[in-house]
Amino acid sequence: MPFAYISQALAARRREGLLRQRVLVEHACARTITIAGKQYLNFASNDYLGLATKLEVDQLVHTEAGSRSSALVTGYLDVHHKLERKLCHTLGYEAALLFPSGFAANTSVLKALFTTQEKQSSAAVFQDKLNHASLIDGGLATDAKFVRFNHNDLTHLRSRLEKTKAEHKLVVTEGVFSMDGDTAPIVEISELAKSYNAWLMVDDAHAFGVVGENGLGTVDTGIKPEILVITFGKAMGCQGAAVLASQHVIDYMTQFNREFVYTTAISPIMASVALLQLEKLLQASQARDKLSGNIEYFKKLISATNLSPMPSDTAIQPLVYGSSENVLAVQSKLKQQGIWVGAIRPPTVPQNTARLRITITAEHSIEDIECLVSALAEVS
């Protein structure tokens, strides 16, 4: 029967406790979420600074709905240019390109970078094993040799770089790992990459806005990767992404990045919102301080329980429960106590490492965090 595998695949997911389902959210903010008429404390959002709130109507009143074409035809508007320039100025890059999502940015940049007339036997991409699906997919979609190194393991990366004969080498990592919450040793990775004449690409989706002295993520470490990706859907609280690089690389992307060339330029509404949100994010030092305090408080409380969180100092604080059944059972008990936390299961995370992905935000109060930790201690 045609496509019989669809029902088989769904049945297998159900049987293994791995079926993914959307929940219909009636209302949400960084602190609370309402689902099926019930309000929960929300520990499952990426709105780390609480910026994804309602906008004032007059902020968008003169904004047009659509860009009317791709950026290379007539879709590249003043607001896109302003947003790109603001990002370049803030992060210290020559040029930037906007994308409708971080997923599109990551996959397409990797595909374009290794898609030239030149034969690809001389290219290799080195990726951290825990890199986001979009980076993995992009790397696998090229003819460049795809090499994975153990998570944050500099010795392993060095040995991989040592062995390669490729001329064009790219090391790819994340500023903050989305499912583990730990940070990459960016300074050391950058030095290592340089010593092997490799370029560095960093996906700062979960770092931009929240990590570093000024909340700028990787560039706050003093490192400027050859390619930096930031996404607008996490701390910026809206949607879209930008790729920052030298003018030379952005010129190349403008020719060869198919997701950029063959798509409608992002809506001027989205670009205007991103510009507004970027301003808010840059001025959100109080929220960043509050977030740091909340993370520290969570870590202090959890360390006094018999639970073992993963080693993370960021807003992402996962607790591993092993099997999918275990994590779903804990998630469901937390719901009964009025707490919403995401349960992340394979294949998003490795087998036997199903986890609660707890995310702390600046909007949580001390009492919210106390409530979370005491519920976790009770139901785990």
Determine, following the binding rule CB under 6 A, whether residue 134 of this chain makes contact with ligand PLP.
yes
Among 102, 212, 237, 268, binds ligand PLP (CB under 6 A): 102
Shortest reach from residue 5's CB to ligand PLP, in Å: 27
Task: Count the helix, strand and coil residues of the chain and give each as a percent rounded to the nearest 5.
Answer: 40, 20, 40
Contacting residue, 203, 226, 259, 363, with ligand PLP by CB under 6 A: 203
H-state helical runs in the chain = 4-15, 78-91, 102-113, 133-140, 154-163, 186-195, 247-256, 258-261, 268-282, 285-303, 324-336, 366-379
Minimum Å gap between C-beta 233 and ligand PLP is 4
Angle at 57 between CA 31 and CA 239, to 5 degrees: 55
Is 325 one of the annotated active-site residues of the chain? no
**309: preceding bond cis by omega (within 30 degrees):** no
Query: Judged by CB under 6 A, does residue 183 bind ligand PLP?
Result: no
Q: Which of 80, 132, 145, 160 binds ligand PLP (CB under 6 A)?
A: 132
User: Considering the complex, what minimum distance in angstroms separates the CB of residue 99 from ligand PLP?
Assistant: 8
Radius of gyration (Cα) for the chain, nearest Å?
Answer: 21
Of 53-61, 70-78, 95-103, 214-222, the window that binds ligand PLP (rule: CB under 6 A) is 95-103
Q: Taking contact as CB under 6 A, which single stretch among the options 59-67, 145-153, 201-209, 330-338 is the one that binds ligand PLP?
A: 201-209
Instruction: With beta carbons less than 8 A apart as the criterion, state whether 190 and 200 touch.
Output: yes
Q: Which of 47, 84, 174, 180 is catalytic?
A: 174
Q: Is 46 annotated in the active site?
A: yes
Q: Does 277 bind ligand PLP (CB under 6 A)?
A: no
- Residue among 107 and 142 whose Cβ is closer to ligand PLP: 107
- Residue for token pair 């690809």: 120
103 sits near ligand PLP (criterion: CB under 6 A): yes
Are 41 and 31 in contact, with CB atoms under 8 Å apart? yes
CA distance linking residue 379 with residue 370, whole number of Å: 14
Q: How far is the CB of 103 from ligand PLP (least distance, A)?
A: 4
Q: What sign for the dihedral angle of Cα 334, 296, 288, 345?
A: negative
Q: What is the tally of helices (H) and strands (E) in the chain?
A: 12, 14
Strands 168-174, 145-149: pairing kind? unpaired
**Residue whose CB is less far from ligand PLP, 227 or 301:** 227
Q: SS3 for 165?
A: coil
> Virtual CA dihedral for 375, 380, 296, 236, nearest 10 degrees?
-80
Q: Residue from 45, 231, 312, 331 that binds ligand PLP (CB under 6 A)?
A: 231
Is residue 206 flagged as an active site residue? yes
- Residue 217 found at the interface with ligand PLP (CB under 6 A): no
CB 135 within 8 A of CB 172: yes
Of these residues, 111, 145, 169, 234, which one is catalytic? 234
Is residue 131 flagged as an active site residue? no
Residue 34 CA to residue 17 CA, distance in Å, equals 24
Identity at 259, one-letter amino acid code: E
What the block records as the tokens of 99 is 């994308």
Least distance (Å) from ligand PLP to the CB of residue 235?
12
Q: How many residues bind ligand PLP (CB under 6 A)?
A: 14
- Tell me the window of 102-110, 120-128, 245-253, 359-367 that interacts with ligand PLP (CB under 6 A): 102-110
Residue 203 annotated among the catalytic residues of the structure = yes
Q: Please pick, among 182, 203, 259, 368, the residue that the annotation labels catalytic.
A: 203
Q: Which of 233, 237, 268, 309 is the binder for ligand PLP (CB under 6 A)?
A: 233
For the record, the structure tokens of 330 come out as 């804990």
- Indicate the residue whose CB is closest to ligand PLP: 102
Residues of this chain that interact with ligand PLP (CB under 6 A) are: 101-103, 106, 132, 134, 174, 178, 203, 205-206, 231, 233, 241
Residues belonging to the active site? 46, 132, 174, 178, 203, 206, 234
